[in-house]
Every structure is written in structure tokens, then in C-alpha cells.
Amino acid sequence: MSARARLVMFLAAALSLGVLVLWAYGGLPDFGHYRGPYGDVLNAVSVPERNITDVVTAVNFDYRGFDTLGEEFILFAAVIGVAILLRAQRDEEQREASEFAFGRSAPRTSDAVRVVALSLAGPTVVTGLYIVAHGHLTPGGGFQGGVVLATALLLVYLAGEYSFLRRAAPLSLVEVCEAIGGGGFAVIGLAGLIAGAAYMENVLPLGQVGQLNSAGTVPLINLAVGLEVAAGFVLILVEFLEQTLMVRLKEPT
Amino acid sequence: MSLYPFIVAAWLLFVGLYGIVTSRNLIHLIVCMQVVQASTYVLLLSIGYRHDAVAPVFAEVPVGTPAVDPVVQALALTDVVVGATVSALLFAMAVQVHKRSHTLDPARLVELRG
């Protein structure tokens, strides 16, 4: 199809979609006048029912926990897909950079970058863990904290070389963390069945409002999700770096 | 005034779709897809917004204070992280396409090869 024909076809389709969007907008509440009811119900019951002060986390890991499990598996599948797509293909092999550029080494990372990256790595880990652990109290949780934790390993890479990252986060360990995180969420859900309630029901003691060890299963699920998200992002990072730095076409023998 | 966020959402949707249709580079195409995805965040969050209300976190304000809708925020938050990994998957596909075909232009990827 010529570019012109494609554009004409798109404009026709966009016009009809535009009409539908306008029609749908007609049924929306005015901006700033949310009509409810679900958000208001959840805002009212989350603290008295579940001792969770961050209602967004209550929705994600308790009231709507089963959906979040599905979304977590999308993340898991996407990470596995990246790992499979970026493995060395039949006509490729992995080699250390020093093997195919003999006698030439990559320029050293500048001292300023190393100092900044290394001094940020520790605080980033602490911040990430804090955000994961306090998900049920203040804004945060496994998804956000997991990404922050993965950033710490990116800083390790920036501070040194690729081999540093591989030593700081061995691939087999990252893969195990990814699996434990993904499976952990599903297994915590089983606690509900064991206690004779529904799958994913929050059956653990709810504790005191505002305490770290409150909200039943929610902090545990946050830990599992944080582990999975952090491991998933590190795995993606490692796979792309390996693709760029190490995977090369086999030399004809 | 009260329509601005909805206009932004529709603009992002259509400008992203236009980019996908006319794209001559797979990387550009994936970024356009992220723009379309961003329109869903803007739309979701503006539906749940409420004037003069607090964030749905009751750590320091009493329960019952008017707050915005937590459901759309929960949807947007998981979607941001999942969307990032799905984009990584698409970028990985683009890497392999470039290796096999030595091009990233979708118009030149017309033949199937075994």
C-alpha cells in the first residue's frame, strides 16, 4: 500500500473514531467533579476494614488483588520474552569484549561519574526498600519501589563496567528472585484458601492502623511484587547490555 | 476550562495513532505506541479527579476527607510498570528485526523469510 493510500485510510478511520470519542466524552462527568461511587466507597472502608491508609495500595493488593496478579504475570511474561528474544541466536556467540577487540580496551569511566553513581547506589537501595515496605501506609508499594531498586543496579553499571554488574547481580540469582517474586504473590493468595476463605482474601491479622506490620497480607504481597519488579527490570537491563556488548556473529571457521 | 484534560487525552491518542500509521522506523513506532498509552493515563486520572480533594491516602488526614478516586490511580500505576516491560519486549523484537533484515523501516519489511 502506498504511503498516501495508508494516510487516507487512517484519516477515514480516525474521523469515525473521533466521532465515537466525542460521543463517549459526552457521558463523562465534568473534570473535577468525580461522581463515584466505587472510589468513595473504597476511600470510606479501606481504613476501618483493612487498616490500610494508602487506598491505592488497598485497591491493588487487596480489593482488586486478583487483577493485579494477572497484571504481574503480564510483566513476568514480557520479561521472559525479552530474555528469550535476546539470547544468542544460532549464528551468534557471546564473547568478552577483550576477545574481539584485542589490545584495545574501552575508555575508563570518568572519576566524577563513578563517585556520583557509587554514592547514590546505597541511598537508592534504602529508598527502594522503604517505598516497598511502606506501600500500605504512604504512597508507594512493590511496583514503584521495585523500579527504584532496579535503578540501584543501573548505577552500579554506570560506576564501573558491565562485569561489575554481573558480579553484583549474578544472572541466576536475578532469575530466582524473579521467579520467587512472581510465584510468591500467587502463593500468598493461597493463604486465603488454607484459612477456609476465598483465594486472595486478606486473612492474616490486620494489626494497628499506621504500623509497619499491619494490613495483613498486603505488605507481604508488596515485598513479593517489589522483588519481581526489581529482578525483572534488572534482567531486562542485563539482556540488553549483553546484546550490545557481548553477542556477536560467529566468525566463519 | 474543565475540558482541557480530555482534549489532551484525545490529542495524545490521535497524534500517537498518526505516528504509528506513518512511521518509517520501528523504534519511533514503539515510542508512538507509548504516546497512545499515555493518553489512557491522562484520561483515567482526569475522570477520577475532584476539585479541592486530597490524595486517597489517609495517613495524616481523617477518613471522610474528600479524596480523589483511588481506583483509576491503581489502574494507571500498574499499567505504567507493565507498559515499560512490554515496551522492552517490543524493543527486543526491533533489535532482532534489524539483525535479520538490516532495516528498521516497516515499509521495507514486506517479505516473510524462514
Locate the domains of chain B by residue range.
4-111
**Residues B61-84 pLDDT 10s:** 888 788 888 899 998 988 888 888
Rounded to whole angstroms, how far apart are CA atoms B108 and B9? 32
CA-nearest residue to A39 within chain B is B69
Contact B81 A34 (CB under 8 A): no
Q: What residues in B contact A81, CB-CB < 8 Å? A: 89, 92
| Rounded (10°) CA dihedral B88, B89, B91, B95 | 130
Residue A253's pLDDT is 58
Which candidate from A7, A32, A43 shows the least CB-CB separation from B22? A7
Full DSSP string of chain A: --HHHHHHHHHHHHHHHHHHHHHHHHTSPPTTB---SHHHHHHHHHHHHH--SBHHHHIIIIITHHHHHHHHHHHHHHHHHHHHHTS--TTEEE--HHHHSTT--PPPPPHHHHHHHHHHHHHHHHHHHHHHHTTTTSS--HHHHHHHHHHHHHHHHHHS-HHHHHHHS-HHHHHHHHHHHHHHHHHHHHHHHHTTS-TT---S----TT-TT-STTHHHHHHHHHHHHHHHHHHHHHHHHHHHHTEEEPPP-
Residue A20's pLDDT is 94
CB–CB of A53/A138 below 8 Å?
Answer: yes
Burial grade of A67 (CB within 10 A; 0-12, 13-18, 19 or more): middle
Instruction: Assess whether pLDDT exceeds 70 at residue B11.
Output: yes
Q: Tell me the mean pLDDT in the region B31-52.
A: 90
Burial grade of A29 (CB within 10 A; 0-12, 13-18, 19 or more): middle
B4-111: in CATH 1.10.287.3510:
yes
| Rounded (10°) CA dihedral A62, A67, A70, A75 | -80
Percent of chain B with pLDDT over 90: 33
Q: What residues in A contact B51, CB-CB < 8 Å? A: 32-33
Q: What's the angle, vertex CA A146, arms to CA A143 and CA A149, rounded to 5? A: 155
* Amino acid at the residue B15: V
Instruction: Assess whether pLDDT exceeds 70 at residue B114.
Output: no
Contact B58 A53 (CB under 8 A): yes
Contact A7 B21 (CB under 8 A): yes
* Amino acid at the residue A30: D
Residue A205's pLDDT is 77
Instruction: Assess whether pLDDT exceeds 80 at residue B35.
Output: yes
CB–CB of A97/A15 below 8 Å?
Answer: no
Q: What residues in B contact A46, CB-CB < 8 Å? A: 58, 70
CB–CB of A142/A60 below 8 Å?
Answer: no
Mean pLDDT, chain B, whole residue set: 87
Residue A96's pLDDT is 66
Please check whether residue A78 touches B, CB under 8 A.
yes
ipTM here? 0.84
Q: Tell me the mean pLDDT in the region B6-11.
A: 92
Per-position pLDDT tens, chain A of length 253: 677 888 899 999 999 999 999 998 888 888 888 887 888 888 888 888 888 888 898 888 888 888 888 888 899 999 999 988 888 777 777 766 666 666 666 677 788 888 888 899 889 999 999 999 888 888 888 889 999 999 988 888 888 777 777 777 788 888 888 889 888 888 888 888 888 778 887 777 777 777 777 878 888 889 999 999 999 999 898 888 888 777 777 766 5
